[in-house]
Structure formats: C-alpha cells, structure tokens
Chain A
Amino acid sequence: MSLGAFKVLPVILWTDALIFALLAAVLALVWFIRRQPHLRAPWAAVARRPMAMGAALVLAVFVTIGLLDSLHYRERLSDSPPDRPQYSVEVLSAFDALVGKLRTQQEKTYSAPLAMQLYAKEFIERGGATVRAYPRLKYGGAQLKQADARVPDLVRRVILGLAQGLAASLLLFGLLAAWQTRHRGMAFGEWLSVWGTGRLGWPGRTVVLTLALMLMLGTATFHLAAAYHVFGTDKVGQDVLYIALKSIRTGLVIGTLTTLVTLPLAIVLGIAAGYFRGWVDDVIQYAYTVLNSIPGVLLIAASVLIVQVAIEAHPELFDTAAARADIRLLALCLIMGVTSWTGLARLLRGESLKLRTLDYVEAARAFGVSHARIISRHIFPNVFHLVLISIVLDFSGLVLAEAVLSYVGVGVDPSMYSWGNMINGARLELAREPVVWWQLGAAFAFMFTLVLAANLFADGVRDAFDPRTGGRR
C-alpha cells in the first residue's frame, strides 16, 4: 500500500503495531470502566489528587509525542519513476514531519546550547588571512549579523514565546470558566473564587497551572528552536533537543511493552499457583525461584547477547536499519519481561492463597462452578488492583533501567535514539575542555521529568487502589 498523494510508504514496525494495539486496549478498558460505578470510584479518587493530575498531564504530553513518533513512513525518492516508485531507506515518523527543520539542520560538530558558534576554535579564512577563531554555525543564530545581537534576540524570543503561551493559557482558562459557569449555573466571580480556593471537587488549580506552565515552556522553546539549537548539538552536529525528544518513544516502549509481556505470565502463573496449590504451586514456585536467583542484569545480558548473535546471523530479514533496531528493542522488552514477572507473580500467588479460602469462593465451589469461572469472576477481579499498581510502579523503574543497560552494552541498538545511548555517548565528554555537558543534561532532564511524573502518578494510583494504605499517604 502506498499513499500516492503524500509520496510516502507507510511503515509499520513491530513496536508500532504493539503500541497501537496497547492504545486500543487501554481505550477499551477506559470505556468499560466508565460504565461500572465500582470501578470508576477509585479512578475518580485519583482524579481528585492534585499531584496525580498534574503528573498525568505531563505524562499525556510525553505519550502524545511518543504516539506521533510511532507513525512511521518512508519518503519516495524524487528521481524514481511514478509507476515503479522507490523509497528512501530512512524511516521517518509523523513527529519528524512535524518538527521538520530540527532534524535536518545539522551542524559540523559540538556547539553549546543557544550558541551561534562552534564550541572549539578552527582555522578559518577571514578577509584573505587565515585566523584561528570560533566559526559561525550554519543554522544556529544564522540570522544574526553581529555576535552581540544574540542575547537581545534570545530575550525577545523568550518573551514572545512566554507571552503567546500565557495568552493561549488565558484563552483556555476562559473557555473552561465559560463552560463551568454555564454547567454549574454560577456567576464568573463566584466560580473564580471557588477555583482559586481549590473547592471545585477536582484539582482545578493544579490542572490550569500545569497546563499554563507547559504551554509557556512549549511556546518559548518553539521560538528559540526556530533559530537556535536549544540544547546545543552533539558530536556529529545533530540537534540534541531533537534526539532527546525522539528518545521519548524508546523510553515509553520499554516502560509499557515490557509490562505487557510480564502481565500474562505473572497473572496466569501467580493465580494458578495460589489457587490450585499442590504440585502446580511447587512447579511455579520452583520456576520463579530459579529465575529470581540469577542476577537480573546478568540474565538480561546473556539473553541480549544471544539475540544479538541471532540478529547478526540473519541480516536478510530486515529491510531497513530501523527495522533491525526495532526488533532489538522488542527483544529487549521481551527479555526484561520474561525476567521480571516473578515479583508480581509472587504477590498474586499470596493474594490468591488468601482469597481461595474466603466464603464466597468456597460457596462458588460448592455450587459446582468451574475453576476457570471462579478464577475469572471471583479471584481475578479481586487481585486486579495489585496488577494495576505494579504496572504503574514498574514503569519508571524500567525507563531508568534502559539507561543502565545501555551503559553495560546490552541495551537498545546503538543506532537508536535513547536517553541511555545519549548518556553513554556523552559521559566521557565531561573530561573534555571546554566541558560538553548539554547532552548529558538534556538526557537526564528528560528522563527525570518522565520518571518523576510517572512516580507521582503511580503514587496517586496506589493510594486510590490499595485498600491497605487507605487514606494514608
């Protein structure tokens, strides 16, 4: 299939397909939960928590970028005949198309954030003589004639961006207020005081402030990125902001798809061990004790080395480098999933052991209800909160683990954009003079934002769903 009008060939990588399948499953689950009051209640409790809602908004931005970056395509080569089109080997995404120049504006080598010169001096021709000076960048600040015009230009762009962001926020706030006053039948002033004192019933202040902050940050970055490299450039002159943004998808894929692998194993084996007991329990316990007793990094390392050998043995299976890197990413998720189901399985086993002795389960068994039905109707719904809590709690750990694994050399493909690869590639640059810190800084800042948001959201979910913590924080 090719979309002739756009002159592109859609490419569906394995992880893309899985991500969109996951998205569909989540949407179906949301639709299902909305119709069940008892399932909706804890989510409503999550929605009442300011921290959780603020974090959810930040996560939503990350997820949107990740989803846009999962719509892949290959551009048609301009010189190929229309009846027999040929396509570029470079796999791009909808996100690449959106950010446009960010990807293509490549400098020669390192340059500092918002700079207009390279970071090191070179011999350049100036007025007939060869002098040693900082050469100007090809794109960063190229519109400026004089070096001292840079700071006023930066200030102007930041102020313009902030003002636009503020204006957009005010517009959104106005729309929200208009809708709410109509909906609640309040006067505007009255609603404003309710909003200002946080008595809306939902964290209105946090939501509005988070949105405004993100909008202003976004517009300011947009105006700066139009003429500068906001986070500088890396060794080959690639824009670091672009790399950091592209890495979002990798982080999200690892955080979510790994859990997707973990879940079926943990749920089936954990509940089976707890519910059936006897030899089933013995076998499953044996399996997870063996897996658990092998140090995690080593097991992952051994498996990744093996996958690497397999991929290198069959180069004919992958038509592009992106497809190859993608399979390796998927394999990494699989491996991490297979090695990390034990924790959740143990939890579910313990809970099922307790549940099976409860009166209603005994009653169901006395009525002759089948095992499959007891498990699906009585056991599983009662352990579901554990599954959910472990999904959100594991996410941030997995994102952090990617960086460590990339450092060990068993992470994602070195050609793939990821925070781990950024850190790994840049950690030796701190020894350089002048110090190249922006790559590390950008990778850590993005990773920190995502993980912090995920942790805060996970806390909200855990507090709302875990009956043990109750109202306690």
Chain B
Amino acid sequence: MLAYILRRLLYAIPILIGVNLLTFALFFVVNTPDDMARLQLGAKHVTPEAIARWKVEHGYDKPLLLNAQATGSARFTDTIFFRHSASMFAFKFGKGDDGRDIANEIRTRMGPSLAIALPVFVIGLMANITFALLMVFFRSTYLDLWGVVLCVVLMSISGLFYIIAGQYFIAKLWNLLPISGYAGGIDGFKFILLPVLVSVAAGLGSGARWYRTIFLEEIGKDYVRTARAKGLSEARVLFRHVLKNGMIPILTGAVVVLPLLFMGSLITESFFGIPGLGSYTIDAIQAQDFAVVRAMVFLGSFLYIAGLILTDISYSWVDPRVRLQ
C-alpha cells in the first residue's frame, strides 16, 4: 500500500512540471512581458520607457530562461522562469498587480470558499442520491419517466439563470435572505444559505441523472437477483445492497473534487460577493492580473492532482484488487 501511494506521489511531479512549463509558455513566451505591459498600460500611455518601467515594477525585466550577464547559479536563478514559474513549487506566488501578497490572499480567502463549497458538496450529494434512488425505486413507471424528463429540463437551464432567479425572487422580491455579501461566524449563515441553495438546485438535474444510471447498472447485476431470490423486499435490496455497492463509483468520483473545493466556484462567489478564491480569480481575469491567474492555475492543478491521488488511494482501499496490479 505504501509503495503504491509513493508511486502515485512520484507520478504527480512530472505532471506539475508539465503544468508549470505550459503556463510559463502561455504567459511569457506566447504573450511576452512587453505585450502584457502594453495591455495593462492601455493604448494611450504606451511608450518604450513606460513599458520598461512597468516591467521593472513587476519584476519582468529579466531574461526568460538564461541570464547571460550573471555568473554562477544566478545564470539560471536570476530569470523570469526561475523567479515567477519555478518558484511556485515552493508556493511563492509573489504579488498581484494591486501589490498584495498572493499567498496571503489565498490563505484568507480559502475559508469563505470552503464555507460555500463544502455545504454545496455535502447537501448536493445527498440530494442527488436521494432523487436518484427515488427514480430507481419507481423505475419503469411514469414517476421515473417524468423524473428523468425533469432532470433533463433542470440541466437544460443555464446555471446563470438559477443564480439570477434566486437572487431576484428570494432575495429582492420576497426579502427572505440577503442578496449578497459575507460575514464570518454565526452571522454568516444567512449569507451562505442562498448561494448553497442555488448551487444545489443547479447541480440537481445532471447529478441525479448520473447517479440514476450508476444505480441502474448496479441493479442489473447477479447479486441483486440473488438478493431478490432470497425474498428480500425491494426497499431492502435497494438500500442495503445497491446503495452500498453503488457508493464505490460515487465516492471515488466525489473524492476527486474534494481538494478542488478550496478553489470555490467562480460564478457563484462572484455573483454573491463572497470574498473567496473563485471571485478572486474572476477579478484577476477581468483586471488581466496575470500573476494572480498564474498562481491560481498552479494551485488549481496542484489540488486536482491531489484529488487524483486521493481517488486512487480511496479506490484501492475500497477495492483491494486495484493494489495488486
């Protein structure tokens, strides 16, 4: 088991290096620091001096990969690649265009992101599974048919609609909850409720339909027939046998997104004014703050790979056959 985990961890390193090289190529080679400066300064103020000043201010005045003027190891370390890309492996993200420390921002914004994403994840999972089990219980009846149609209708509605409609009706028209904002502690509860509700509703259609197919696949297997042949009731078969075995693909599918919960949801956070990592990323994209976007790309990939490794481990834990391969 330990060797297996170690192997998975080692496999993550080349992928992170790949992500790092790709973002470096995207942000510095295809799109040179000069282009960035021009975009940031706007059309009116572009002079060679202004560009040079901007580059010095942001630390982009170094050569890309190899500093020929420096000596010793500084030939490699005094470059844009080493300072802005390779340094991310040590979680040194530098400063954003607004002068704030990115790592510090990430630390303070993680909490609000999790405060939304974690309830959405847990409640959403439970709601989806409940809805899916109901449909499976009433399978090949009109209830199931209309349940599936409802799922398709729900997933055909744009996610933006759920947010805008939720904010308009629940918050503005009926005044039940605040329209947006955030507060820590107990006071924050009323701010969290609406975004969580909206996100769960937005994910219900596709989620429930997906879990329904998993359960239906499980219900066609031999052990289910055996259980029925033993004379167990349909409800018992469903909850004792099918649910338990169906949980394996569900849990392993869910584990992969667990670490990514830290990143929050871009759109939800931005609409509800939650000071999390998602809204931080959107603001950075809209302000074209490349340093922050780069940091978020690296963080996102790091968390995704962590999720992959967790999935592998959890999978080998619930299904011992995997370890032997």
Enumerate chain A interface residues (CB-CB to B < 8 A): 286, 289-295, 297-299, 301-303, 305-306, 308-309, 312-313, 396, 400, 403-404, 407-410, 423, 427, 430-431, 440, 444, 447-448, 451-452, 455-456, 459, 472-473
Contacts and interface: CB of A to CB of B under 8 A. Distances in A.
Given A302-B26, A430-B164, A455 B152 contact: yes
B146 to A, nearest CB: 12
A255 B156 CA distance: 14
Given A294-B19, A294-B22, A306-B30, A407 B160 contact: yes
A303 B26 contact: yes
B35 A313 contact: yes
B285 interface: yes
A290 B18 contact: yes
Contacts, number: 122
Given A295-B304, A299-B297, A301-B293, A447 B152 contact: no
Contacts of B15: 286, 289-290, 293
Contacts of B152: 452, 455-456, 459
Nearest to A470: B220
Given A294-B22, A444-B158, A302 B297 contact: yes
A298 B300 contact: yes
B216 A294 contact: no
B47 interface: no
A302 B296 CA distance: 11
B157 A448 contact: yes
21 contacts: A289-B15, A293-B300, A293-B301, A293-B305, A294-B22, A294-B297, A294-B300, A295-B301, A297-B281, A298-B300, A305-B39, A309-B36, A396-B156, A400-B159, A407-B267, A408-B266, A423-B160, A430-B168, A430-B172, A451-B156, A451-B157
A301 B285 contact: yes
Contacts of B164: 423, 427, 430, 440
A469 to B, nearest CB: 8
Closest 8 interchain pairs by CB?
A290-B18, A295-B300, A452-B156, A293-B301, A451-B156, A293-B304, A306-B31, A301-B285
Interface in B281-306: 281-282, 285-286, 288, 290, 293, 296-297, 300-301, 304-305
A472 B285 CA distance: 44
B263 A295 contact: yes
B23 interface: yes
B223 interface: no
Interface string B177-201: 0000000000000000000000000
B160 A294 contact: no
B285 A409 contact: yes
A396 B154 CA distance: 13
B27 interface: yes
B254 interface: no
A298 B155 CA distance: 23
Given A286-B14, A404-B267, A302 B27 contact: yes
Contacts of B36: 309
A440 B18 CA distance: 41
A448 B158 contact: yes
Contacts of A298: 281, 285, 293, 296-297, 300
Contact of B148 (A313, A403, A473): A473
Mostly, the B contact residues are helix
B28 to A, nearest CB: 11
Interface string B142-171: 000100100011011111110010011000
Given A295-B297, A306-B30, A430-B168, A409 B286 contact: yes
B158 A400 contact: yes
A408 B297 contact: no
A290 B308 CA distance: 12
A293 B285 contact: no
A286 B305 CA distance: 12
A372 B216 CA distance: 38
B158 A302 contact: no
Nearest to A447: B158
Given A286-B15, A444-B161, 6 more contacts: A286-B18, A294-B23, A295-B296, A305-B39, A308-B39, A455-B155
B23 A404 contact: no
Nearest to B304: A293
A404 B160 contact: yes
Contacts of B160: 403-404, 407, 423, 427, 444
Q: Which of B30, B296, B301 is packed against the most chain A CB atoms within 10 Å?
A: B301
Nearest to B161: A444
Contacts of B308: 289, 293
B175 to A, nearest CB: 14
Given A295-B263, A298-B281, A306 B26 contact: yes
Contacts of B19: 290, 293-294
Contacts of A473: 145, 148
A314 to B, nearest CB: 12
A164 B39 CA distance: 56
Nearest to A313: B35
Nearest to B20: A290
A156 to B, nearest CB: 33
Interface string B234-274: 00000000000000000000000000100100110010000
A312 B31 CA distance: 12
Contacts of A452: 152-153, 156
Contacts of B285: 298, 301, 305, 408-410
Given A294-B22, A297-B266, A408-B285, A302 B293 contact: yes
Nearest to B213: A469
Contacts of A308: 39
A209 B169 CA distance: 34
A305 B31 contact: yes
Contact of A404 (B38, B159, B168, B286): B159
A396 B168 CA distance: 26
Nearest to B153: A452
A290 B156 contact: no
Contacts of A290: 15, 18-19, 22
Contacts of B35: 309, 313
Contacts of B167: 430
Interface in B1-31: 14-15, 18-19, 22-23, 26-27, 30-31
A59 B38 CA distance: 44
Given A293-B15, A448-B156, A305 B288 contact: yes
B156 A455 contact: yes
A386 to B, nearest CB: 16
A286 B270 CA distance: 33
Nearest to B263: A295
A450 to B, nearest CB: 9
B282 A309 contact: no
B60 to A, nearest CB: 15
A300 B301 CA distance: 14
Nearest to B31: A306
Nearest to A445: B161
